[in-house]
Structure 1
Amino acid sequence: MSRPRCERCLRPLDHCLCALIPAIGSRTRVLLLQHPSEASHALNTARLAALGLINAQLHVGEVFDDLDRWLAMPGYRPVVLFPSEGAQALGPYTQTDDTPLLLVVPDGTWRKARKLMYLNPLLAALPKVTLGNVTPSRYRLRKAPEAGALSTIEAVVQALNVLEYPASFDAVLAPFEALIEGQIQAMGAGTYERNHHKDTGAP
Protein backbone atom coordinates (compact mmCIF):
# COMPACT_ATOMS: atom_id res chain seq x y z
CA MET A 1 0.00 0.00 0.00
CA SER A 2 1.48 3.35 -1.02
CA ARG A 3 2.10 6.06 1.57
CA PRO A 4 -0.25 9.07 1.53
CA ARG A 5 1.32 11.95 -0.37
CA CYS A 6 0.98 15.70 -0.27
CA GLU A 7 -0.85 16.78 -3.41
CA ARG A 8 1.25 19.96 -3.64
CA CYS A 9 4.88 18.92 -3.14
CA LEU A 10 4.19 15.22 -3.92
CA ARG A 11 6.25 14.10 -0.91
CA PRO A 12 4.95 11.56 1.63
CA LEU A 13 2.74 13.41 4.11
CA ASP A 14 5.12 12.69 6.99
CA HIS A 15 7.91 14.31 4.97
CA CYS A 16 5.93 17.17 3.42
CA LEU A 17 8.13 20.11 2.40
CA CYS A 18 5.41 22.72 1.95
CA ALA A 19 6.24 24.57 5.18
CA LEU A 20 9.70 25.29 3.73
CA ILE A 21 8.54 26.38 0.27
CA PRO A 22 8.51 30.18 -0.05
CA ALA A 23 6.42 32.33 -2.38
CA ILE A 24 8.92 34.71 -3.94
CA GLY A 25 8.13 37.18 -6.69
CA SER A 26 10.56 37.83 -9.52
CA ARG A 27 10.82 40.24 -12.39
CA THR A 28 11.93 37.33 -14.57
CA ARG A 29 9.33 34.77 -15.61
CA VAL A 30 10.50 31.16 -15.42
CA LEU A 31 9.05 28.47 -17.69
CA LEU A 32 10.14 24.96 -16.69
CA LEU A 33 9.72 22.24 -19.31
CA GLN A 34 10.12 18.89 -17.60
CA HIS A 35 10.81 15.61 -19.34
CA PRO A 36 8.29 13.01 -18.09
CA SER A 37 11.07 10.81 -16.69
CA GLU A 38 11.88 13.55 -14.15
CA ALA A 39 8.33 13.92 -12.83
CA SER A 40 8.59 10.80 -10.67
CA HIS A 41 12.15 11.50 -9.51
CA ALA A 42 12.56 11.51 -5.73
CA LEU A 43 13.92 15.07 -5.76
CA ASN A 44 11.96 16.64 -8.64
CA THR A 45 13.71 19.97 -8.11
CA ALA A 46 11.92 21.64 -11.03
CA ARG A 47 8.63 21.25 -9.17
CA LEU A 48 10.16 22.75 -6.02
CA ALA A 49 11.40 25.71 -8.07
CA ALA A 50 7.99 26.26 -9.65
CA LEU A 51 6.26 26.11 -6.26
CA GLY A 52 8.70 28.55 -4.67
CA LEU A 53 8.49 31.21 -7.38
CA ILE A 54 5.28 33.13 -7.95
CA ASN A 55 6.20 34.06 -11.53
CA ALA A 56 6.94 30.51 -12.70
CA GLN A 57 5.12 27.65 -14.33
CA LEU A 58 5.94 23.99 -14.87
CA HIS A 59 4.81 21.79 -17.76
CA VAL A 60 5.59 18.09 -18.17
CA GLY A 61 5.95 16.44 -21.55
CA GLU A 62 8.16 15.83 -24.57
CA VAL A 63 6.32 17.86 -27.22
CA PHE A 64 4.69 21.09 -26.04
CA ASP A 65 1.92 22.08 -28.43
CA ASP A 66 1.25 25.33 -26.57
CA LEU A 67 4.88 26.47 -26.53
CA ASP A 68 4.24 29.22 -29.09
CA ARG A 69 1.56 30.70 -26.85
CA TRP A 70 3.74 30.52 -23.73
CA LEU A 71 6.66 32.17 -25.51
CA ALA A 72 4.44 34.98 -26.82
CA MET A 73 3.58 36.26 -23.36
CA PRO A 74 3.70 40.06 -23.73
CA GLY A 75 6.33 42.02 -21.86
CA TYR A 76 9.01 39.33 -21.80
CA ARG A 77 11.97 38.39 -23.98
CA PRO A 78 12.22 34.57 -24.26
CA VAL A 79 15.58 32.80 -23.93
CA VAL A 80 16.49 29.21 -23.06
CA LEU A 81 18.92 28.34 -20.28
CA PHE A 82 21.04 25.81 -22.10
CA PRO A 83 24.85 25.78 -22.12
CA SER A 84 25.95 25.35 -25.71
CA GLU A 85 28.34 26.87 -28.18
CA GLY A 86 27.45 30.52 -28.64
CA ALA A 87 25.35 30.74 -25.47
CA GLN A 88 25.57 34.18 -23.86
CA ALA A 89 26.45 34.43 -20.17
CA LEU A 90 23.70 36.00 -18.11
CA GLY A 91 24.26 39.39 -16.52
CA PRO A 92 22.23 41.76 -14.35
CA TYR A 93 19.38 43.74 -15.86
CA THR A 94 20.34 47.30 -16.77
CA GLN A 95 18.32 50.43 -17.41
CA THR A 96 19.16 50.22 -21.10
CA ASP A 97 17.98 46.61 -21.28
CA ASP A 98 14.98 46.60 -18.99
CA THR A 99 12.81 44.02 -20.77
CA PRO A 100 12.56 41.10 -18.33
CA LEU A 101 13.40 37.64 -19.58
CA LEU A 102 11.13 34.67 -20.01
CA LEU A 103 13.71 32.13 -18.87
CA VAL A 104 12.87 28.75 -20.38
CA VAL A 105 14.53 25.88 -18.51
CA PRO A 106 14.54 22.32 -19.88
CA ASP A 107 14.48 19.85 -16.99
CA GLY A 108 16.08 16.46 -17.47
CA THR A 109 19.41 14.74 -17.92
CA TRP A 110 21.62 16.29 -20.59
CA ARG A 111 20.41 13.66 -23.05
CA LYS A 112 16.74 14.27 -22.21
CA ALA A 113 17.20 18.06 -22.28
CA ARG A 114 18.74 17.82 -25.75
CA LYS A 115 15.81 15.63 -26.80
CA LEU A 116 13.38 18.32 -25.63
CA MET A 117 15.28 20.85 -27.74
CA TYR A 118 15.16 18.54 -30.76
CA LEU A 119 11.45 17.73 -30.44
CA ASN A 120 10.45 21.38 -29.98
CA PRO A 121 11.95 23.48 -32.80
CA LEU A 122 10.60 26.70 -31.27
CA LEU A 123 12.61 25.93 -28.15
CA ALA A 124 15.76 25.15 -30.11
CA ALA A 125 15.42 28.41 -32.05
CA LEU A 126 15.50 30.59 -28.94
CA PRO A 127 18.64 32.54 -27.98
CA LYS A 128 20.73 30.42 -25.61
CA VAL A 129 21.95 31.75 -22.27
CA THR A 130 24.18 30.20 -19.65
CA LEU A 131 25.57 30.89 -16.21
CA GLY A 132 28.93 32.64 -16.14
CA ASN A 133 30.35 31.88 -12.69
CA VAL A 134 28.74 28.70 -11.41
CA THR A 135 28.61 28.08 -7.66
CA PRO A 136 29.31 24.40 -6.86
CA SER A 137 26.23 22.22 -6.53
CA ARG A 138 24.81 21.51 -3.08
CA TYR A 139 23.52 18.17 -4.34
CA ARG A 140 25.83 16.05 -2.18
CA LEU A 141 24.15 12.71 -2.84
CA ARG A 142 25.95 12.04 -6.07
CA LYS A 143 29.04 13.17 -7.85
CA ALA A 144 28.31 15.77 -10.53
CA PRO A 145 28.55 14.27 -14.03
CA GLU A 146 30.81 17.16 -15.03
CA ALA A 147 32.23 20.35 -13.59
CA GLY A 148 29.58 23.04 -13.22
CA ALA A 149 26.63 20.62 -13.29
CA LEU A 150 23.69 21.79 -11.19
CA SER A 151 20.25 20.55 -10.30
CA THR A 152 17.44 22.45 -12.02
CA ILE A 153 16.43 24.37 -8.90
CA GLU A 154 20.04 25.45 -8.33
CA ALA A 155 20.42 26.60 -11.93
CA VAL A 156 17.21 28.65 -11.70
CA VAL A 157 18.22 30.26 -8.41
CA GLN A 158 21.70 31.12 -9.65
CA ALA A 159 20.26 32.59 -12.85
CA LEU A 160 17.80 34.78 -10.94
CA ASN A 161 20.49 35.86 -8.47
CA VAL A 162 22.55 37.10 -11.43
CA LEU A 163 19.72 38.69 -13.37
CA GLU A 164 18.08 40.47 -10.44
CA TYR A 165 21.13 41.31 -8.33
CA PRO A 166 21.24 42.44 -5.52
CA ALA A 167 18.02 40.50 -4.84
CA SER A 168 18.59 36.99 -3.52
CA PHE A 169 16.50 33.94 -4.35
CA ASP A 170 18.42 31.52 -2.12
CA ALA A 171 15.30 30.93 0.02
CA VAL A 172 13.89 28.90 -2.90
CA LEU A 173 16.55 26.28 -2.10
CA ALA A 174 15.28 25.63 1.45
CA PRO A 175 13.10 22.57 0.63
CA PHE A 176 15.81 21.18 -1.67
CA GLU A 177 18.41 21.39 1.08
CA ALA A 178 16.02 19.83 3.60
CA LEU A 179 15.34 16.99 1.16
CA ILE A 180 19.07 16.33 0.73
CA GLU A 181 19.64 16.38 4.50
CA GLY A 182 16.72 14.01 5.02
CA GLN A 183 18.09 11.51 2.53
CA ILE A 184 21.55 11.68 4.11
CA GLN A 185 20.03 11.01 7.55
CA ALA A 186 18.00 8.09 6.19
CA MET A 187 21.13 6.72 4.56
CA GLY A 188 23.13 6.96 7.78
CA ALA A 189 26.21 9.07 8.32
CA GLY A 190 28.59 6.13 7.93
CA THR A 191 27.14 5.04 4.60
CA TYR A 192 27.12 8.62 3.30
CA GLU A 193 30.75 9.15 4.29
CA ARG A 194 31.85 5.91 2.62
CA ASN A 195 29.88 6.25 -0.60
CA HIS A 196 29.57 9.98 -1.24
CA HIS A 197 31.78 12.21 0.85
CA LYS A 198 35.08 11.00 -0.55
CA ASP A 199 33.77 10.97 -4.13
CA THR A 200 33.11 14.70 -4.06
CA GLY A 201 36.69 15.53 -3.17
CA ALA A 202 35.53 17.16 0.06
CA PRO A 203 38.21 17.45 2.75
Structure 2
Amino acid sequence: MSRPQCPRCSRPTSHCLCPLIPALDSRTRVLILQHPSEVKHALNTARLAALGLINAELVVGEVFTDLAVLLEQPGHQACLLFPGELAQPLSEYAAAREGAPLLLVVPDGTWRKASKLLHLNPALAALPRVTLPQGASSRYRLRKAPMAGALSTIEAIVQALEIIEAPAGFADLLRPFEVLIEGQIAAMGEETFRRNHGSAS
Protein backbone atom coordinates (compact mmCIF):
# COMPACT_ATOMS: atom_id res chain seq x y z
CA MET A 1 0.00 0.00 0.00
CA SER A 2 1.47 3.32 -1.04
CA ARG A 3 2.00 6.07 1.47
CA PRO A 4 -0.24 9.15 1.23
CA GLN A 5 1.40 11.97 -0.71
CA CYS A 6 1.22 15.72 -0.44
CA PRO A 7 -0.65 16.85 -3.58
CA ARG A 8 1.56 19.95 -3.85
CA CYS A 9 5.15 18.77 -3.44
CA SER A 10 4.43 15.08 -4.24
CA ARG A 11 6.40 13.93 -1.22
CA PRO A 12 5.00 11.49 1.38
CA THR A 13 2.91 13.54 3.80
CA SER A 14 5.26 12.49 6.61
CA HIS A 15 8.11 14.18 4.71
CA CYS A 16 6.23 17.11 3.15
CA LEU A 17 8.57 19.89 1.98
CA CYS A 18 5.93 22.60 1.59
CA PRO A 19 6.84 24.49 4.81
CA LEU A 20 10.35 24.96 3.37
CA ILE A 21 9.28 26.08 -0.10
CA PRO A 22 9.54 29.88 -0.47
CA ALA A 23 7.49 32.19 -2.65
CA LEU A 24 10.18 34.19 -4.43
CA ASP A 25 9.36 36.78 -7.05
CA SER A 26 11.54 37.65 -10.03
CA ARG A 27 11.43 39.90 -13.07
CA THR A 28 12.71 36.97 -15.06
CA ARG A 29 10.05 34.56 -16.23
CA VAL A 30 11.20 30.93 -15.86
CA LEU A 31 9.71 28.28 -18.15
CA ILE A 32 10.73 24.72 -17.26
CA LEU A 33 10.11 22.09 -19.92
CA GLN A 34 10.28 18.73 -18.19
CA HIS A 35 10.79 15.40 -19.92
CA PRO A 36 8.10 12.93 -18.76
CA SER A 37 10.74 10.53 -17.41
CA GLU A 38 11.57 13.04 -14.66
CA VAL A 39 8.04 13.43 -13.26
CA LYS A 40 8.12 10.43 -10.92
CA HIS A 41 11.78 10.84 -9.97
CA ALA A 42 12.21 10.99 -6.20
CA LEU A 43 14.43 14.06 -6.58
CA ASN A 44 12.23 16.15 -8.85
CA THR A 45 14.11 19.43 -8.46
CA ALA A 46 12.27 21.12 -11.33
CA ARG A 47 8.99 20.80 -9.44
CA LEU A 48 10.56 22.36 -6.33
CA ALA A 49 11.85 25.25 -8.43
CA ALA A 50 8.46 25.87 -10.03
CA LEU A 51 6.71 25.78 -6.65
CA GLY A 52 9.17 28.20 -5.07
CA LEU A 53 9.12 30.83 -7.83
CA ILE A 54 6.05 32.98 -8.34
CA ASN A 55 7.01 33.84 -11.92
CA ALA A 56 7.68 30.27 -13.09
CA GLU A 57 5.81 27.60 -15.01
CA LEU A 58 6.47 23.86 -15.33
CA VAL A 59 5.24 22.06 -18.44
CA VAL A 60 5.71 18.31 -18.96
CA GLY A 61 6.02 16.72 -22.39
CA GLU A 62 8.22 15.75 -25.31
CA VAL A 63 6.58 17.62 -28.17
CA PHE A 64 5.19 21.00 -27.09
CA THR A 65 2.50 21.89 -29.61
CA ASP A 66 1.75 25.11 -27.72
CA LEU A 67 5.38 26.19 -27.50
CA ALA A 68 4.73 29.41 -29.43
CA VAL A 69 2.13 30.41 -26.82
CA LEU A 70 4.45 29.50 -23.95
CA LEU A 71 7.23 31.62 -25.43
CA GLU A 72 4.94 34.60 -26.08
CA GLN A 73 5.67 36.73 -23.02
CA PRO A 74 5.18 40.42 -23.92
CA GLY A 75 8.28 42.47 -23.19
CA HIS A 76 10.42 39.42 -22.44
CA GLN A 77 13.33 38.14 -24.54
CA ALA A 78 13.38 34.33 -24.60
CA CYS A 79 16.65 32.44 -24.21
CA LEU A 80 17.49 28.78 -23.68
CA LEU A 81 19.67 27.71 -20.76
CA PHE A 82 21.62 24.94 -22.49
CA PRO A 83 25.25 24.54 -23.52
CA GLY A 84 26.39 24.57 -27.12
CA GLU A 85 29.02 26.02 -29.42
CA LEU A 86 26.97 29.16 -30.04
CA ALA A 87 25.90 29.62 -26.41
CA GLN A 88 26.74 32.98 -24.82
CA PRO A 89 27.66 33.46 -21.17
CA LEU A 90 24.41 34.38 -19.43
CA SER A 91 25.98 37.43 -17.80
CA GLU A 92 26.93 38.89 -21.19
CA TYR A 93 23.56 38.07 -22.73
CA ALA A 94 21.65 39.69 -19.87
CA ALA A 95 23.90 42.78 -19.88
CA ALA A 96 23.33 43.25 -23.61
CA ARG A 97 19.58 43.39 -22.94
CA GLU A 98 20.19 46.41 -20.67
CA GLY A 99 17.93 45.21 -17.91
CA ALA A 100 15.02 44.15 -20.11
CA PRO A 101 13.23 41.15 -18.55
CA LEU A 102 14.10 37.70 -19.85
CA LEU A 103 12.13 34.53 -20.39
CA LEU A 104 14.57 31.83 -19.25
CA VAL A 105 13.65 28.49 -20.83
CA VAL A 106 15.11 25.52 -18.95
CA PRO A 107 14.87 21.93 -20.26
CA ASP A 108 14.69 19.38 -17.43
CA GLY A 109 15.97 15.86 -17.87
CA THR A 110 19.17 13.92 -18.35
CA TRP A 111 21.50 15.42 -20.97
CA ARG A 112 20.23 12.83 -23.44
CA LYS A 113 16.57 13.54 -22.71
CA ALA A 114 17.06 17.31 -22.72
CA SER A 115 18.82 17.08 -26.07
CA LYS A 116 15.90 15.06 -27.36
CA LEU A 117 13.51 17.85 -26.35
CA LEU A 118 15.50 20.26 -28.50
CA HIS A 119 15.51 17.81 -31.41
CA LEU A 120 11.73 17.30 -31.23
CA ASN A 121 10.97 21.01 -30.86
CA PRO A 122 12.82 23.05 -33.53
CA ALA A 123 11.47 26.35 -32.18
CA LEU A 124 13.09 25.53 -28.87
CA ALA A 125 16.42 24.68 -30.46
CA ALA A 126 16.28 27.96 -32.44
CA LEU A 127 16.27 30.14 -29.30
CA PRO A 128 19.43 32.03 -28.35
CA ARG A 129 21.44 29.80 -26.01
CA VAL A 130 23.03 30.90 -22.76
CA THR A 131 25.33 29.13 -20.32
CA LEU A 132 26.41 29.49 -16.72
CA PRO A 133 29.99 30.13 -15.63
CA GLN A 134 32.23 27.07 -15.52
CA GLY A 135 33.47 25.60 -12.27
CA ALA A 136 30.19 25.46 -10.35
CA SER A 137 29.95 22.74 -7.72
CA SER A 138 26.70 20.82 -7.35
CA ARG A 139 25.21 19.80 -4.01
CA TYR A 140 23.29 17.05 -5.81
CA ARG A 141 25.30 14.22 -4.27
CA LEU A 142 22.94 11.39 -5.18
CA ARG A 143 23.26 11.44 -8.95
CA LYS A 144 26.56 11.20 -10.79
CA ALA A 145 27.13 14.31 -12.86
CA PRO A 146 27.56 13.65 -16.60
CA MET A 147 30.35 16.22 -16.75
CA ALA A 148 32.33 18.55 -14.50
CA GLY A 149 30.29 21.54 -13.35
CA ALA A 150 26.91 19.95 -14.11
CA LEU A 151 24.12 21.21 -11.85
CA SER A 152 20.66 19.98 -10.97
CA THR A 153 17.82 21.95 -12.55
CA ILE A 154 17.02 23.88 -9.38
CA GLU A 155 20.68 24.77 -8.81
CA ALA A 156 21.05 25.99 -12.39
CA ILE A 157 17.94 28.16 -12.05
CA VAL A 158 19.15 29.70 -8.79
CA GLN A 159 22.56 30.51 -10.26
CA ALA A 160 20.98 31.93 -13.42
CA LEU A 161 18.59 34.19 -11.51
CA GLU A 162 21.37 35.46 -9.26
CA ILE A 163 23.35 36.43 -12.37
CA ILE A 164 20.43 38.10 -14.12
CA GLU A 165 18.96 39.86 -11.10
CA ALA A 166 22.04 40.63 -8.99
CA PRO A 167 22.25 41.65 -6.19
CA ALA A 168 18.98 39.80 -5.46
CA GLY A 169 19.48 36.37 -3.86
CA PHE A 170 17.56 33.18 -4.54
CA ALA A 171 19.35 30.76 -2.20
CA ASP A 172 16.14 30.14 -0.23
CA LEU A 173 14.92 28.16 -3.23
CA LEU A 174 17.53 25.51 -2.37
CA ARG A 175 16.35 24.87 1.21
CA PRO A 176 13.81 22.12 0.39
CA PHE A 177 16.27 20.62 -2.11
CA GLU A 178 18.98 20.33 0.54
CA VAL A 179 16.58 18.82 3.09
CA LEU A 180 15.44 16.35 0.45
CA ILE A 181 19.03 15.31 -0.30
CA GLU A 182 19.83 14.89 3.41
CA GLY A 183 16.67 12.83 3.88
CA GLN A 184 17.59 10.52 1.03
CA ILE A 185 21.09 10.04 2.45
CA ALA A 186 19.68 9.30 5.90
CA ALA A 187 17.24 6.79 4.43
CA MET A 188 19.96 4.82 2.64
CA GLY A 189 22.36 5.02 5.58
CA GLU A 190 25.67 6.82 5.86
CA GLU A 191 27.75 3.74 5.07
CA THR A 192 25.79 2.91 1.91
CA PHE A 193 25.97 6.54 0.77
CA ARG A 194 29.76 6.68 1.22
CA ARG A 195 30.20 3.39 -0.60
CA ASN A 196 28.06 4.40 -3.58
CA HIS A 197 28.62 8.16 -3.79
CA GLY A 198 31.93 8.91 -2.11
CA SER A 199 32.58 11.06 0.94
CA ALA A 200 29.55 12.41 2.82
CA SER A 201 31.14 15.79 3.35
Question: Shorter-chain TM-score: what band?
Answer: over 0.9
- Give the structure 2 partner of residue 89 of structure 1: 89
SS at match of 1:59: strand
What TM-score comes out, normalization by structure 2 length? 0.95
In structure 1, the residue matched to 2:19 is 19
Output one character per residue of 1:10-52: Cα deviation in whole Å (capped at 9) or x when no partner. Answer: 0010011000000000111000000000001001100000000
Count of residue pairs brought into register by the alignment: 200
Q: Deviations over 1:114-151 (max 9, x none)?
A: 11001111101100000024420001123322101111
- Residue number in structure 1 paired with 2:166: 165
Give the Cα–Cα distance (whole angstroms) in 1 for the partners of residues 162 and 134 of structure 2.
11
Matches within 5 A, 1:31-180: 31-91=31-91, 93-94=94-95, 97-180=98-181
DSSP-derived class of the 1:57 partner: strand
Query: What letter matches 2:147 in structure 1?
Result: E
Moved over 6 A (4+): none
Q: Aligned partner of 1:113: which letter? A: A
CA RMSD of aligned residues (A): 1.6
Structure 1 unaligned blocks of 5 or more: none
Quick one: distance in 1 between partners of 2:141 and 2:115? Answer: 25
Gap change, CA 1:95 and 1:108, over 3 Å in 2: closer
- Superposed displacement of residue 95, structure 1: 9.2
Residues in 2 aligned to 1:113 and 1:192: alpha-carbon distance in whole angstroms: 27
Determine the C-alpha separation between the residues in 1 that align with 2:122 and 2:146.
27
Q: How high is the sequence identity, in percent, across the aligned residues?
A: 67
TM-score (structure 1 length as normaliser): 0.94
Counterpart-to-counterpart distance in 2, 1:130 and 1:108: 16
User: Cα–Cα, structure 1 residues 4 and 46, in superposed 2: closer, same or farther, change >3 Å?
Assistant: same
Residues 34 and 60 of structure 2 are in contact (CA less than 8 Å); yes or no, is this contact kept in structure 1? yes
